[in-house]
Structure 1
Amino acid sequence: MSWSIAAALSTGAAISPELRSELKQAVASPPSFQPTCNNYHLETTFCHISLAWSDWRNKPLAEVTSGPNNARLSLILLGECFEAASINPRELLARYQQQGITALEGLNGRYIALVVDEVRQRLQVVTDALGLRKLYQCELSGQLLLCSSLESFRAISAFRPRLDHYGAAQLLITSHLCDEHSLLEGVTLLPPATRLQCQGATVQHERYWTPSIESADAERDDSIERMMAEASQALNCRLQGTERLMLPLSGGLDSRLLAGLLPPSLHSRTHSCSYGHSHSYDRRIGQKVARALGLAHQSLSLPTQLYSDYQQCALGLADGEISIEAFPLFRLLEAGTPGETLLSGYAGDWISAKKLLHEQGSMEASMAHLWQKLYVRMGFQEGLFAQVVCHPELKRGYQRLQQTMQSAFDQARADSFAEKAQLLEFWHRQRRYVTYQLSALEARFRVVAPLCDSELVKRWLCLPMSLKEGQRGYRQLIHKVSPALAALPVAGSRRYQSLGLENTEERLDALARLQQSLASSGLNEGLKWRLNTGLKGAGRLLVKASGGWLGPHNRGLLVHHDQDIRQQNPQWFKQQLFDPAMTEGVYDVRALQQLWDEHCRGLQDHSVRINNLIMLSAFRRHWSL
Structure 2
Amino acid sequence: MCGIAGLFDPVGLRPFDPALMRRINDVQSHRGPDSDGLHLEPGLALGHRRLSVIDLSTGDQPLFSEDGSIAIVFNGEIYNFQQLVPELRSLGLKFRTRSDTEVIVNAWRAWGPACVQRLRGMFAFALWDRHQQTLFLARDRLGVKPLHYAWLPDGSFVFGSELKTITSHPGFQRRIDPLAVEEYFSLGYVADPRCIYQGAHKLPSAHTLTLRRGGAARPEPQSYWDVRFTTDNPISAADAQAELRERLRESVRLRMIADVPLGAFLSGGVDSSAVVATMAGLSESPVHTCAIGFDDPRFNESDFARMVADRYRTNHTLDVVGSDDFGLIDTLAWLYDEPFADSSAIPTYRVCQMARRHVTVALSGDGGDESFGGYRRYRLHLGEEAVRRRLPLGLRRPVFGPLGQIYPKADWAPRPLRAKTTFQALAMDSVEAYHHSMSHLRADQRSALFSEGFKRGLGGYSALDVFTQHADQAQTDDPLALIQYLDYKTWLVGDINTKVDRASMAHSLEVREPLMDHELIEWLATLPSHLKIDGSEGKALLKRAMEPKLPHDVLYRPKMGFSVPLADWLRGPLAGRVKEAVLGDRLRDSGYFQERQLQRLVDEHQRGTSDHATPLWMLVMFEAFLRRHELSPEDKP
**TM-score (normalised: structure 2):** 0.80
Per the TM alignment, residue 232 of structure 1 is displaced from its structure 2 partner at its CA by 0.9
Q: Distance in 2 between matches of 1:315 and 1:367?
A: 38
Partner of 1:503: none
Q: Distance in 2 between matches of 1:350 and 1:397?
A: 33
Q: Distance in 1 between matches of 2:66 and 2:561?
A: 58
Match of 1:380 among 441, 446, 466: 441
Partner of 2:5: 6
Match of 1:312 among 321, 324, 331: 331
Task: Single out whichever of 602-611 and 82-91 deviates more from structure 2.
Answer: 82-91
Q: Is the 8 A contact 1:409 1:424 kept in 2?
A: yes
Partner of 1:529: none
Partner of 1:52: 49
SS at match of 1:573: helix
Partner of 1:351: 371
Partner of 1:495: none
Any idea what the Cα deviations from partners look like across 1:250-285, whole Å, max 9, x if unmatched? 232111111221134355241332333342341221
Per the TM alignment, residue 161 of structure 1 is displaced from its structure 2 partner at its CA by 0.5
Partner of 2:69: 72
Partner of 1:609: 615
Matching of residues 110-509 of structure 1 within 5 Å: 110-140=122-152, 141-203=154-216, 204=219, 205-216=221-232, 218-220=234-236, 221-241=238-258, 244-264=261-281, 265=283, 268-279=286-297, 280-317=299-336, 319-337=338-356, 340-354=360-374, 355-356=378-379, 357-358=381-382, 359=385, 360=388, 361-363=391-393, 365=426, 367=428, 370-374=431-435, 376-377=437-438, 379-390=440-451, 392-393=453-454, 396=458, 399-440=461-502, 441-443=504-506, 444-470=508-534, 474-483=539-548, 485-489=550-554, 498=556
Partner of 2:423: none
Partner of 1:583: 588
Q: Is the 8 A contact 2:435 2:464 kept in 1?
A: no
Structure 1 residues 616 and 164: alpha-carbon distance in aligned structure 2, compared to 1, 3 A threshold = same
Q: Distance in 1 between matches of 2:617 and 2:196?
A: 16
Structure 1 residues 473 and 223: alpha-carbon distance in aligned structure 2, compared to 1, 3 A threshold = farther
Task: Single out whichever of 596-605 and 130-139 deviates more from structure 2.
Answer: 596-605
Q: Is the 8 A contact 1:137 1:145 kept in 2?
A: yes
Q: Number of residues paired by the alignment?
A: 558
Task: Single out whichever of 232-241 and 76-85 deviates more from structure 2.
Answer: 76-85
Q: Is the 8 A contact 2:53 2:260 kept in 1?
A: no
Task: Single out whichever of 266-275 and 401-410 deviates more from structure 2.
Answer: 266-275
Any idea what the Cα deviations from partners look like across 1:451-493, whole Å, max 9, x if unmatched? 1111111222221011122486844434433535241245xxx
Per the TM alignment, residue 120 of structure 1 is displaced from its structure 2 partner at its CA by 2.1
Aligned-residue RMSD, C-alpha: 2.9
Q: Is the 8 A contact 2:151 2:158 kept in 1?
A: yes
Partner of 1:560: 565
One-letter identity of the residue aligned with 2:119: L
Structure 2 gaps of 5+ residues are: 84-98, 398-425, 632-637
Q: Distance in 2 between matches of 1:85 and 1:387?
A: 56
Per the TM alignment, residue 40 of structure 1 is displaced from its structure 2 partner at its CA by 1.2
Q: Is the 8 A contact 1:126 1:194 kept in 2?
A: yes
Identity %: 17
Per the TM alignment, residue 14 of structure 1 is displaced from its structure 2 partner at its CA by 4.6
Matching of residues 510-521 of structure 1 within 5 Å: none
SS at match of 2:46: strand
Q: Is the 8 A contact 1:281 1:556 kept in 2?
A: no
SS at match of 1:251: coil
Structure 1 residues 391 and 622: alpha-carbon distance in aligned structure 2, compared to 1, 3 A threshold = farther
Q: Distance in 1 between matches of 2:31 and 2:212?
A: 38
**TM-score (normalised: structure 1):** 0.82
Structure 1 residues 318 and 448: alpha-carbon distance in aligned structure 2, compared to 1, 3 A threshold = farther
Partner of 1:549: none
SS at match of 1:23: helix
Structure 1 residues 294 and 479: alpha-carbon distance in aligned structure 2, compared to 1, 3 A threshold = farther
SS at match of 2:135: strand
